[in-house]
Structure 1
Amino acid sequence: MLIARMLAMRYRRVRERRRFMRSKPRYCYDAKTTLHKIRHCGVLFQHDCSLPPVLLTVTALLRCPLCCSLVAAMLFSATSPTHTRRHVLPSGPALFTQHWHVSAPRGHMLLVHGYAEHSGRYGHVATVLKEAGYAVTAYDQRGFGRSPGRRALVWDFDILAHDLHAMSRHVQANSPAPLVVLGHSMGGLVVLWTLLMHDLSAAGVVLSAPALAIGGNVPPGLAPLTQAVSRWLPTLPTVGKVQGGISRDVQVVAEAEADPLNYHGRVPARTGVEMLRVGQQVQARAAAITHPYLLMHGTADAIVDPTGSTQFHSASGSADKTLRRYEGLRHEIFNEPERHDVFADVVAWLDARMSLQSQDETSHPHTTAQA
């Protein structure tokens, strides 16, 4: 049984690697049609001219809207990161990672994005934190954005928790600043699950609309049926997204719907089952959460029920906990018209916690932070 599981894991890694490699430019010449062809980002570009393969590859990259948008964001956006790279986990895939560097940072924020999106949507959040003196590291979770994996398929939340734990240890090994973890929606649920499953050494946690109560979006009777078939049909499409439910800002909604790195399909059965399961377990074990946290939720959130955050806050075992409810704001409070008020609350909470951290280090000079 153990050998079979090891072979299955090896097969999945090889398959993910091959899927990732297929996203790279591949050139071929069709002798029948005398066309020069190159496949890139899932799109087939072809020319009837006799361009050399190198020039044909460059032409395809320039014609690719995804590549052009990424390059433009890197060159001209004020929210672009200091550098990007693919961080290879000790026992997993190479996750796409972005970093916003600050000299002598007050703290280091590790950002975990939500379902169906990617870390690139948090450039403005990272910029605000950077201006406040905090370094930021964000990564695309496996199966999302520019990281490998079956799109939007979460087979087991323990895998995402393991990834976050590995990323946190990597950040702490390379940054002396206190670590703070920020998670939005599904990312917030991943953060809470990691706190329960691993020894996550963090000075604080910021939670934005954590996906603790998503059952309201599931039609009656669909949840038990989905749970029954999710193991055999993990990619079975279930519920769709709430149209316009992320923000009252029309431009934000339009950009999210046009973003090629976002996932625009229905929720895979296995992903939905795992989110429901982990959300219920986190609520049941809320008393075991003792880390300082700032919990934020919009009262008009139609994607994640705000009452889930209220129930968790009441039951959590943390002695340093703060709940902020934003009247009339929808799911993505960082992308609402009142986002600057939300940013101010986050920075104020971080500054207060970092001041306490500095006082503790001053009063206990021989105590070192756990890596």
Structure 2
Amino acid sequence: MTAKTAKKNQTSESDWLKKDSNHFELKSPHDRLRLLGKFWPVNEPRAVILFVHGSGEHSGRYKHVAEFFNEHKVACVTYDLRGHGVSGGERGFTPSSDALFIDLECVVNFVRSNFSHAKPLVLYAHGTGCSICIAHILKRSDRLLDYQYLILSTPSICLKMRPTRTLFFIARAFSNLSPHLRLPIEGNMHNVYTNDEAMVTAYRTDPLVHDRWPARSLCVFLELGHLLETTPVQFSVPVLVQHGKDDTVTPFETIKKWKEERVKGDDVELKIWPDHMHELHNDVGRINVLNYALEWILKHLDSNQNQQQEH
């Protein structure tokens, strides 16, 4: 990180802490690294949503999403992944998948203890955040998270740019020899993930958005991607998968195939959105996407309440 970038991040962090009375700070049990987040409360919430953002971005980009759900009596919690936003760690660096899983467990347990209590908890993940949540089920089955519903927004599985054996070899080699080396991977600053030009501009000028792929991080996510593509996953909670038909990161056809061949569960819905790209919640027409997610949540809450009354 350059001195200029570090100063910019420090300034953003200082402003964030100063302006936000609902922020919280945790120490990851993995390595004591600092994780920062924010609670978006409402009076008598029907449920609580915990957002798990994607690679290269930060939780502040979900402000309008949290505010939307707040308007409908759903409380929200956001947090920055390690190496992202205002959380600690080298920008973009992920030491291992276990670090991500332990961080997520830490945040979920904190939310359960301090915010959601007896209220249903919804995990709302985007992009590589989906990979973290799904892979947690596969790799940490002995430490299942206490949530009741899962929303996967354009999961970064079965990518359009297929990783070759050569890329795997190079990533693993550098991951071991020089884990912090930034590899020449074209990423966030070069791609367009939304059809809203204002959102694209905001994204590319956001000081907390980064375009860093250290060798270790690339290796971690390549291996997670391979795991998810090749391993069946059993969901024990209702799941809503939303995907943009024009997504340039993960083609919707591959997500349909993944759902048909790898996904098991009693209640898993796939919703494909025509004329939408990777960031559904930032696209033109995002209100329809958010309303659909809200209605899905409320439908399941009502169904669960009716079942409890019958018993």
Check whether TM > 0.5. yes
* Cα offset, 1:290, TM superposition: 3.0
**Farther-moved stretch of structure 1 (180-189 vs 299-308):** 299-308
2:158 — aligned with what? 213
- The question of whether the paired residues in 1 share the 8 Å contact of 2:243 and 2:278 is answered with yes
Secondary structure of 2:237's counterpart equals coil
Q: Could you say which residue in structure 2 is the equivalent of 1:337?
A: 284
Residue number in structure 2 paired with 1:203 = 148
Q: After the TM superposition, which of the residue ranges 330-339 and 171-180 deviates more from structure 2?
A: 171-180
**1:172 CA displacement:** 1.4
Amino acid at match of 2:300: R
Question: Cα 1:149–1:269, aligned 2, differ >3 Å: closer, same or farther?
Answer: same
Question: Could you say which residue in structure 2 is the equivalent of 1:8?
Answer: none
Change (3 A) 1:169 1:360: farther
Partner residue of 1:130? Answer: 70
Deviation at 1:303, TM superposition (A): 2.0
| More off after superposition, 121-130 vs 192-201 | 192-201
Please give the per-residue CA displacement for 1:253-293, whole angstroms capped at 9, x wherever unaligned: 1111111111133x222222221211221233334233211
Compared CA separation, residues 212 and 247, structure 1 to 2 (3 A): same
Partner residue in 2 for 1:311: 257
Name the CA shift for 1:271/1:305 in 2 (closer, same or farther; >3 Å).
farther
Secondary structure of the residue aligned to 2:176 is: coil
1:146 to 70, 86, 90: 86
- Pairing of 1:18-33 with structure 2 (within 5 A): none
SS in 2 for 1:303: coil
1:83 to 18, 22, 28: 22
Match of 2:100 in 1: 160
Confirm or deny that 1:191 pairs with 2:139.
no
- Cα-to-partner distance string for 1:189-224 (whole Å, 9 max, x where unaligned): 111112222312221100011111236165783333
Query: In structure 2, what is the equivalent of residue 240 of structure 1?
Result: 186
Shift of the alpha carbon at 1:41?
7.0
Q: Distance in 2 between matches of 1:231 and 1:238?
A: 17
Q: Aligned AA for 2:87? A: S
Deviation at 1:339, TM superposition (A): 0.4
Separation in 1 of the partners of 2:10 and 2:292? 34
Q: Is residue 120–residue 148 contact of structure 2 (8 Å, CA) maintained in 1?
A: yes
CA distance in 1, matches of 2:18, 2:196: 24
Report the CA distance between 1:116 and its aligned residue.
Answer: 0.4
* Local SS of the residue matching 1:256: helix
The aligned amino acid for 2:266 is A
- 1:177 aligns with 119
The percentage of aligned residue pairs carrying the same residue is 25
Distance across 2 between alignment mates of 1:132 and 1:304: 31
1:355 maps to which residue? 302
Q: Is the 8 A contact 2:17 2:23 kept in 1?
A: no
TM-score under structure 2 normalisation? 0.88
One-letter amino acid of the counterpart of residue 178, structure 1: P
Match of 1:141, SS state, is coil
Q: 1:115 aligns with which of 48, 51, 55?
A: 55
Gaps of 5+ in 1: 1-18, 20-38, 44-63, 76-80, 365-371
Report the alpha carbon displacement of residue 238 of structure 1 after superposing the two structures with TM. 3.3
CA RMSD, Structure 1 to Structure 2 (Å)? 2.7
Amino acid in structure 2 at the alignment position of 1:254 = T
Displacement of 1:40 in angstroms is: 9.1
Judged with a 3 Å threshold, the aligned counterparts in structure 2 of structure 1 residues 271 and 297 are, in CA distance, closer, same or farther, namely: same
Q: Which runs of structure 2 are paired with 1:253-264 in the superposition (5 Å)?
A: 253-264=200-211
**Number of residue pairs the alignment of both structures matches:** 302
Match of 2:217 in 1: 271
Distance 1:333 1:251 in 2: 14
Residue 290 (structure 1) aligned to one of 231, 236, 253 = 236
Using the alignment, how far apart are the partners of 1:199 and 1:298 within structure 2?
29
Structure 1 range deviating more: 352-361 or 119-128: 352-361
Counterpart CA distance in 2 for 1:103 and 1:146 is 27
Q: Is the 8 A contact 2:53 2:125 kept in 1?
A: yes
